[in-house]
Each structure stands twice: as C-alpha cells, then as structure tokens.
Structure 1
Amino acid sequence: MHKINEHHFKDQGPKEINLREYFTLIKKRFWIILLVTLIAGAGGYIYSNMNSTPLYETSTRVIIGTGEEEMDMNTLMVMITDPMIMETVANELQLARSPGQIAGQIEVTQIEESQVVSIKATDSDPETAMNIANSTAAMFKQEIKQILDFKGVQLLSEAELNTAPINTDQNRTLIMAIVFGLMTGIGLVFILDAMDGAIRKEDEAEDILGVPVLGTISNMTKRKFVNKKKKTKEMAVRGETVDIK
C-alpha cells in the first residue's frame, strides 16, 4: 500500500478538470477565497487611510488689465504668489506657514488667453482652502497697487466651500486590494487542490492500481446513515406484518 501511494504521488500527471469541477472546487473551499479577500480588503483600507490625507480644492477668479492700464500678464501672474503677498495672506488668516508653503498650495492659470486669471488653492481643510484663495485674490489686488502702482485688478468671483476631496485614489486602492485578494484566494484554492493527492475518479484509480474498478462506495454522512437505518426498520416492520397475515 505504501508503494502504491508513493507511485501515486510521484507519477501522478496533471489533473483533468472540467468546468463543473471548477465550480464545485470553488464552492467547497469558498471560505478560503472569502477570508483572503477580506484580509486584503482590510489591508487596503487601512493603508489608504493611513497614507493618504484628503485634499480639498477651490478657486477664485480675477480680471487683470481692465480699463486703460496695461501691463505684462505673465509678470502680474507671477506677482500673485510673491513672498510679500503670501506673507500678508498668512498674517491675515493667522496661518503658521511660510510664504513658500502657502505659494505651494496655490496654482495660478490664465483662462484661455483672456484677461481672466484663476487662483486655485488646495488644503487638507476645505474652509482653509477657500480662505487662502479669497485672501490671495484680495491681497493681490491691494498690494499690487503699492508695488507696481497698478489698479487694473477686479475680483470676478469668490471661492466657495468645496467639501468633495480631489484625491479619490483611496477608493481605487481599496478596489485593487479586493480584486487582488479575490484572485489570490482563487489561486490558493487551485494550488491546494493540485497538491491534494486524493483519488476522486474511477479512471484515476484504474491508472494508479492497474486494475479495473469493480464498484464504488458512496459518501455516507451521519444524516444519510440515520435515514437509511430508519428506512430499514420501516421495511422490517412491513415485512413482519405481511408474514402475520
């Protein structure tokens, strides 16, 4: 018997499996797939929350060069994030940040080569982002008069509170973790099945033992055993009744 088992494990070729057996195998060990998927999903959720801070963005618009005053647009746009103006913004909002840090939170863009300029601010707090954008526009209009004696700046629209984060990669990370866990779980199920040396088919037994299979024994569970025992008693009772008659 030991030699037979040794021959079985050494010389057993790849298992032939059909689509129905795939589903049966997955159903049988579904708990493994579920467990691995839950672990991977939980890991992805923890990672995304610990390593990603929600960021909020909002913007205000100003018109530069209104009236008869004219000045180079690029120069004026650079002046918006000038350290002097950024320091004024920090003081007004009472932010413990350097002018360079605040300037790094601001993006200045010209709208389609027009005189309209967008001042976009980003921060981990939506209200702070709104205040930085509005304060920057107001301080720029105020300070540019003194620095360059330029009065051609008008506020077009104020920044509004935006509570929707712009970095939505957290959900993406979670989804990728769940998919990875699902695929890993399925792969693990098939690996365990490939390592299982149990004989499941009659032709496998014939190939290993070299003799034909004469019969098979069905899988007897406790429930089947109780039902069969009960059925046997009922048949015996009916038989005795017939004999009496």
Structure 2
Amino acid sequence: MEKEIDIKNLFTLIKRRIWIMITFALLLTAAGWGYSTYFTTPVYDASARILIRDDTKFFNTLTEVIREPVIMSKVTEELNLNRSPQAVASQISVMPVGESQIVEITVTDPNPVMAAKIANSTMKHYREELPKLLNFSQTKILTEAKENAEPYKESPVKRMLIGLIAGIVLSLGMIFLLDSLDDSVRTEEEAEKLTSLPVLGSVSKMTRKTSPILKDKRLKISVRGESVVSYK
C-alpha cells in the first residue's frame, strides 16, 4: 500500500515515536561528551610575541608570511620534526594583539616542550628570512614561548552539538523506516483506500473509565461494602 505523507501526517508520525528521537539524541550527545572527556589526547599550547614595526597595509602580508613553507621548512629542519612544513603550519595560529603592532604566535602540540620550541624556532627563522623575502627587518622578539604544564582543554560543547544533530538525523531515519515497515491501518482514509469501500461508521476508543460494564461493576462493589477499585 502506497503511503502519502503530508506535513500534518509527518508531525503526527514524529510525535507518535518521539521517544526514539529523545533516546537517540541523549545517547549520542552523551557519547560526544564522553569522547571529549576521556578519549581525546591532551594538547598543550605555547605562545610567543613579536613586534612588527609597520603601520601600513603591508602589516597583514608580514603576518601571513610567518606560516609560509619557506619558514616552516627551516623549523622542521632545526627541530628534526617528523612532519611536513604544512603540518607544522596547521599547528600555528597567528593573531595580532588588538590594534597594536604586536603579533602573538601560538603553537599547539601533544608535547608541551615541543610546543614552546616550535614557537620560538618560528620567530627565529621568521626574523632571519623576512629581510630576504620582503626586504623588511623592523621586528623584535618581545616574549619567548615557555613550556605550559597545563593542557589546553577544548570545550566538549562542539562534539556534544555534533552528537545531538547526528542523534536527531538518525532518529528521523529510524522513525521513517519503522513507518514504512508498518502495514497497520490507522485512519479511515487508509481503510477506504485499502478496501475501496466507504467507511460507514467507527467505534470510539473504550477505556475502563468510559466502559458501562466496568462502571456497573464498580457500583455493585460499592453497594456490597467492599473496597472500591479505581480504574483508569
């Protein structure tokens, strides 16, 4: 039997199996939190600051050069790193401090000592190569990077949000799958399509509270003086 799903039926379908969506969302959100808390490798960061004496638009170019392969290759050679210059560049973030000419170089690495070494080596080779590349030498190291004993703790909110979205998407897929496998007749329209006959009447849902037989039974029990049983 073909099923036509409109917006109203779609919401009704989701509402009927909302427990599936809640369960999937809670489980995968908890999984995202657990992964961030117990299964991620601790990462350490180290920051250094350098002064670039330039107040023109050329300043942005000077800061972009810091992570260029010509600088990163020097760093990998000096520290004998078993990784590509591009991989080292991905560990480095360069951020101007406010509207000043000071630039902060931050390196993240699983090894706190190596994080500080990469930051300091980057500043060193940047100052050496910059005059050759752009004929600019007005730089000065303000603060060298030091080993940070405390790991950088990434907020688990991002992975929890990913888990929540994944849970909602998977639960919707499960709900639609269960509905496609369900051949039961739930509405008068479905009964008419299935039998090609008009529906002449319907029987309302009967509960213990609305059943005249159970009402009479409760009355008889009360008259005899026995304990009254409440049906819901």
TM-score (norm 2): 0.52
What is the aligned residue count?
A: 186
Question: Which residue is 1:23 aligned to?
Answer: 11
Distance 2:189 2:27 in 1: 39
Q: 194, 208, 221: which one pairs with 2:194?
A: 208
The secondary structure found in structure 1 opposite 2:80 is helix
Kept in 2, the 8 Å contact 1:108–1:117? The answer is no
Residues 127-164 of structure 1, C-alpha deviation per residue, up to 9 Å, x if partnerless? Answer: 75786579879xx7xxxxxxxxxxxx965235476968
Query: Unaligned regions of 5+ residues in structure 1, if any?
Result: 1-11, 65-73, 87-98, 141-152, 235-245
Q: In structure 2, how many angstroms separate the alpha carbons of the residues matched to 1:187 and 1:56? A: 40
Deviation at 1:60, TM superposition (A): 2.0
Indicate the percent of aligned positions where both proteins have the same amino acid: 26
**1:120–1:133 Cα contact (<8 Å) kept:** no
Q: Relative to structure 1, is the Cα distance of residues 130 and 36 closer, same or farther in structure 2, using a 3 angstrom cutoff?
A: closer
Contact 2:49 / 2:104 at 8 angstroms: preserved in 1?
yes
CA distance in 2, matches of 1:108, 1:188: 42
Which of structures 1 and 2 has the bigger CA Rg?
A: 1
Q: Distance in 1 between matches of 2:201 and 2:36?
A: 57
Q: Does 2:8 match 1:14? A: no
Shift of residue 182, structure 1, vs aligned partner? 0.5
Separation (CA, whole Å) in 2 of partners of 1:108 and 1:178: 29
2:152 corresponds to 1:165: yes
Q: CA deviation at 1:198?
A: 1.6
Q: 1:177 corresponds to which residue?
A: 163
1:224 corresponds to 2:213: no
Q: Does the 8 A contact of 2:208 with 2:214 survive in 1? A: no
* Pair 1:100-2:44 in alignment: no
CA RMSD of superposed structures (Å): 5.2
* CA apart distance, 1:222: 3.0
**Structure-2 separation of matches of 1:198 and 1:82:** 67
Change (3 A) 1:23 1:222: farther
What is the letter of the counterpart of residue 205 of structure 2?
N
Aligned with 1:123 (options 102, 109, 121): 109
Matches within 5 A, 1:17-56: 17-19=6-8, 21-49=9-37, 52-56=40-44
Preserved CA contact (<8 Å) 1:58 1:162? no
Aligned partners of 1:32 and 1:212: how far apart in 2?
A: 35
Cα distance in 2 for residues equivalent to 1:210 and 1:108 = 69
Alpha carbons of structure 1 residues 108 and 101: separation in structure 2 relative to 1, 3 Å: farther
- Using the alignment, how far apart are the partners of 1:107 and 1:162 within structure 2? 19
Q: What's the CA shift for 1:24? A: 2.7
In proportion to residue count, which structure has more helix? Answer: 1
- Structure 1-normalised TM-score? 0.50
SS at match of 1:222: coil
Structure 2 residue runs without a partner (length 5+): 53-65, 125-138, 220-232
